[in-house]
Amino acid sequence: MTAWADHGQAGNGEPLAIVLRAGNAGSNTAADHIEAAGLALAQLPGRLRRTALIRADSGGGTHEFLTWLTARTRRLGYSVGMTITEDMQAAIGKVPADSWTPAYDGDGQVRDGAWVADITGLLDLSSWPAGMRVIVRRERPHPGVQLRFTDIDGHRFTAFATGTKKGQLAGLELRHRRRARCEDRIRCAKDTGLRNLPLKGFAQNQLWCEIVALACELLAWTQLLALAGEARRWEPKRLRLRLFAIAGRLASSGRRLRLRIAARWPWAGQITAAVTRLQALPSG
């Protein structure tokens, strides 16, 4: 189980926690979510913990995890996926047609064929944390997509819970959907060594996960501090091909060490600009 920081539009967040679980462990348990969230929060500066937003997929939509998130000692913001239950299906059927508002695409623009609605008032949420809202997204499936039994009138529905009281429904739903950046980070972590656990012992592979986390951390901060433009979104394979695997030579001249790279390399300018940015950073 992993937890990642979201640095905004760049989408190249750093790993906050990578938890190795035994092969006979349960799947997506509340205890796993609590452990990963606790480790992730411990990595943040104290001033940021009170304003942190915890996002999770439907595996995090449990009473135990949400109760932990909303404890008085934490009061964390949250946006977690919810499994569509029979009660939710019944509530969705009661939503008036004019209560559905257009959803946003990834750029924050109105998306054709997708709508959102708040069904909090149509559900019995007495057993859930106070102030919890349930927001549903309705959309027409893409052509060729296999419909599911839970698809109503040819529309696909997804739901999430949040404690955020302000903001447009479409904005809150887009904020939750951007949790998918975590999947991108996991894929990149697999390209950085997490795909296979090469060692025999559990403790040894825990150390391997820490090394992978350190590598992901270095990549994230390199992109944030040294790179610009599209290079901030490059994934590990592309970074290795264009920047890290370039042939160069260290030359000493005038008591200064210089890195010489081929000017004809298409991304030589990216490398020299990155070094310049790093040298301009304050040393303190």
Residue 217 domain-assigned? no
- How confident is the model at residue 8, as a pLDDT? 58
Q: Are 108 and 119 in contact (CB under 8 A)?
A: no
Task: Give pLDDT tens digits for 74-86.
Answer: 878 999 999 999 9
Given strand 133-139, what is the order of strands in its sheet?
53-56, 77-82, 156-162, 133-139, 110-118, 101-104
Residue 179 domain-assigned? yes
Q: For 80, phi and psi rounded to 5 degrees?
A: -125, 145
Q: What is the DSSP letter of 146?
A: P
Structure tokens at 153: 């009138």
Coil, strand or helix at 197 = coil
What range defines the domain where residue 161 resides?
A: 2-183
Our count of domains for the chain comes to 1
Task: Give pLDDT tens digits for 215-226.
Answer: 999 999 999 999
Residue 166 domain-assigned? yes
- How confident is the model at residue 101, as a pLDDT? 95
> Exposed e or buried b for every residue in 251-268, given b needs 16+ CB within 10 A?
eeeeeeeeeeeeeeeebb
Structure tokens at 259: 């890195």
Task: Give pLDDT tens digits for 155-214.
Answer: 889 999 999 999 999 999 999 999 888 888 999 999 999 999 999 899 999 999 999 999
Residue 116 domain-assigned? yes
- pTM score: 0.84
- Alpha carbons 186 and 222: distance in angstroms, whole number: 18
- How confident is the model at residue 107, as a pLDDT? 87
- Alpha carbons 238 and 221: distance in angstroms, whole number: 16
Residue 192 domain-assigned? no
- Alpha carbons 209 and 88: distance in angstroms, whole number: 39
98: CB partners within 8 A, 6+ apart: none
Residue 81 domain-assigned? yes
Residue 253 domain-assigned? no
Q: What is the DSSP letter of 129?
A: P
Structure tokens at 44: 């943040």
pLDDT band (50, 70, 90) for residue 12: low
Residue 206 domain-assigned? no
- Alpha carbons 5 and 16: distance in angstroms, whole number: 6
Average pLDDT of the residues of the chain: 89
